[in-house]
Amino acid sequence: MLNQNEKNAPVRVGIIGLGTVGQGFLRLLLKNQGLIRERLGFPLALGGVCEKNPETLKGLTLPPECVVYREWKEMVLDPRISLVVELVGGLEPARSILLEAMKAGKSVVTANKALLARHGEEIFGAAASHGVDLGFEASVGGGIPILRTLRESLAGDRILRLAGIINGTANYILTRMSREGLEFETVLSEAQRHGYAESDPTYDIDGIDSAHKIAILATMAFGSPVNLQEIPVEGIRQIKPIDLEFGREFGYVLKLLGIAVDHGDSLDIRVHPSFLPENSLLSEVDGVFNAIELSGQALGPLLLYGRGAGGDPTATAVMGDVMECARGVFHGARAQVPALGFPFSGRIRRPLRPISAIFSEYYLRFMAQDQPGTLSYLAGILGDRGISIESVIQKGRDRGGSVPVVVTTHRATESQIRDSLAIIDASHHVTEKTVVIRIEDVSMEGSLS
């Protein structure tokens, strides 16, 4: 670990990648330089930048002492740079940047959830073995300080469960579909035109980005490494306005949730669209905002709400980490709290529950043949498999010979539901594959059962 404990010697930070978050960080560093110095008790200087796109660099005003590196390796190996901020995104060269910088004895900060969700073991392991600090607050929830809350504020409590709206693009699309009755494709292309959705929106709308974030959250909350590939993930492409409308009639709002529950001997971690009671806190989180609700055994419920993306909000999370690492550099000591909140060697892997074993209430929309006896057939198949119906709505007539019949159920396992639908969907009583949406219990009573 470098020691820069010379009077007034600034800690020099280097940024690799000056895109949305990198430029936000730059703005914050330059604008709040005085405040940052006051709070740290020593100066934090922009020692260097490295950006692939020369056009981006042309548009920026950099302080005179800032070195512009052509290659990230030059910055990482330059002894004048004490700590490295990786903001290029993606897997490579981001992974190599972090590993090489840590190998060179430098603390690192990243916002890269995709990288941590896939290569977290290697990266957290490297931080532990090289004895450097690793900040990654911005990787989940943008500007929302959820990771520090889990790592430090709730270090002494057991986290029972966690549910979050952790992708702003998906939430924006569902909010507009719900409010305006628009089709998914219409809202998506508008969001792309206005810059709220990427030109390739796959990660956001197919739930992959949320899976990255819930994997990181669950690792921190439960102290167990999480294999990303084992997380059941469903996105929002298949959502239709008709289901949002029926949901409203039952008093529900649809959200794409990342969910993580501690069952003691196993964990339940998943991402999928969920109906929430309209009076729940998470159901009020609209547009691009994010929120994470958790339940601590001693604490009870907690909700953190704020801007989950964007250059400026995300930069505040990056800056908090940079300042923490800079203190370590200045005082020649590592942060007192390990990156994950517990020693790397203290993690205990617990298996993930398969989706077939989860318990939930369900919304089922059948497109039923408009004939006598269909409703009793559907109820019979569900009842034979131990699924009890809570309510039924049948409305409208003649959508090509079929009518929507919507059923909500009491708690059942996913395998009970799948077994029933395998029979129903193969029968002549329905004309389309049944739509299944889980209804989430947001009472935050916790689990460990």
Ligand X SMILES: NC(=O)c1ccc[n+]([C@@H]2O[C@H](COP(=O)([O-])OP(=O)(O)OC[C@H]3O[C@@H](n4cnc5c(N)ncnc54)[C@H](OP(=O)(O)O)[C@@H]3O)[C@@H](O)[C@H]2O)c1
By annotation, the residues acting in catalysis are 213
84 binds ligand X per the rule CB under 6 A: no
| Residue 111 vs 177, nearer CB to ligand X | 111
| Residues 20-39 interacting with ligand X (rule: CB under 6 A) | 20-22
**Interface with ligand X (CB under 6 A), residue from 11, 29, 87, 217:** 87
In angstroms, give the least distance from the CB of 173 to ligand X: 16
Q: x/- binding map, residues 308-327, to ligand X, per CB under 6 A?
A: -xx---x-------------
Cα–Cα distance, 42 to 330 (Å, whole number): 8
96 binds ligand X per the rule CB under 6 A: no
| Residue 98 vs 368, nearer CB to ligand X | 98
- CA atoms within a 13 Å half-sphere pointing along the CA-CB vector of 406: 14
Residue nearest to ligand X (CB): 19
Tally of CB atoms within 10 A around 129 = 11
| Residue 256 vs 421, nearer CB to ligand X | 256
The amino acid sitting at 412 is A
Q: How far, rounded to the nearest angstrom, does the alpha carbon of residue 220 sit from its chain's CA centroid?
A: 13
Size of the site for ligand X (CB under 6 A): 25
**Interface with ligand X (CB under 6 A), residue from 53, 202, 391, 443:** 53
Helix (H) or strand (E) holding 12: strand 11-16
Residue 404 CB partners (closer than 8 Å, separation 6+): 242, 246, 365, 366, 367, 368, 394, 395, 396
| Residue 94 vs 352, nearer CB to ligand X | 94
Residue 69's DSSP bridge partners are: 50
Cα–Cα distance, 308 to 172 (Å, whole number): 12
- CA atoms within a 13 Å half-sphere pointing along the CA-CB vector of 289: 14
**Interface with ligand X (CB under 6 A), residue from 56, 227, 394, 413:** 56
| Residues 110-169 interacting with ligand X (rule: CB under 6 A) | 111-113, 138, 142
**Interface with ligand X (CB under 6 A), residue from 40, 73, 89, 385:** 89
3 state DSSP class of 276: strand
Instruction: For residue 415, report the phi and psi dihedrals to the nearest 5 degrees.
Output: -70, -35
Q: Which stretch binds ligand X (CB under 6 A): 46-54, 222-230, 384-392, 407-415?
A: 46-54
**Interface with ligand X (CB under 6 A), residue from 26, 83, 88, 98:** 88
For 166-285, strand residue ranges (E) read 252-262, 267-277
Q: Which residue has the tokens 């990266």?
A: 123
The amino acid sitting at 221 is A
In angstroms, give the least distance from the CB of 22 to ligand X: 6
| Residue 88 vs 170, nearer CB to ligand X | 88
| Residue 36 vs 87, nearer CB to ligand X | 87
On whether the CB atoms of residues 387 and 420 are closer than 8 A, the answer is yes
In angstroms, give the least distance from the CB of 302 to ligand X: 21
237 binds ligand X per the rule CB under 6 A: no
In angstroms, give the least distance from the CB of 107 to ligand X: 18
- CA atoms within a 13 Å half-sphere pointing along the CA-CB vector of 62: 23
**Interface with ligand X (CB under 6 A), residue from 10, 14, 93, 328:** 93
In angstroms, give the least distance from the CB of 208 to ligand X: 12
- Cα angle for residues 221, 226, 229 (degrees, 5° grid): 140
Cα–Cα distance, 150 to 219 (Å, whole number): 10
Q: Which stretch binds ligand X (CB under 6 A): 108-116, 290-298, 388-396, 440-448?
A: 108-116
Cα–Cα distance, 360 to 269 (Å, whole number): 14
Q: Which stretch binds ligand X (CB under 6 A): 48-56, 74-82, 119-127, 278-286?
A: 48-56
Helices (H), 181-292: 184-193, 202-205, 208-222, 241-249
In angstroms, give the least distance from the CB of 143 to ligand X: 9
Q: Which stretch binds ligand X (CB under 6 A): 106-114, 183-191, 290-298, 350-358?
A: 106-114
Q: Establish whether the linkage from the previous residue to 93 is cis, with ω within 30° of 0.
A: yes
Q: x/- binding map, residues 4-23, to ligand X, per CB under 6 A?
A: ------------xxxxxxx-
Instruction: For residue 31, report the phi and psi dihedrals to the nearest 5 degrees.
Output: -70, -40
72 binds ligand X per the rule CB under 6 A: yes
| Residue 10 vs 93, nearer CB to ligand X | 93
Q: What is the DSSP string of 39-56?
A: HHSS-EEEEEEE-S-HHH
| Residue 49 vs 406, nearer CB to ligand X | 49
Helical packing angle, 20-31 and 311-331, nearest 10°: 60
Cα–Cα distance, 192 to 201 (Å, whole number): 8
| Residue 113 vs 161, nearer CB to ligand X | 113
Binding-site ranges for ligand X (CB under 6 A): 16-22, 50-53, 56, 72, 87-89, 93, 111-113, 138, 142, 309-310, 314
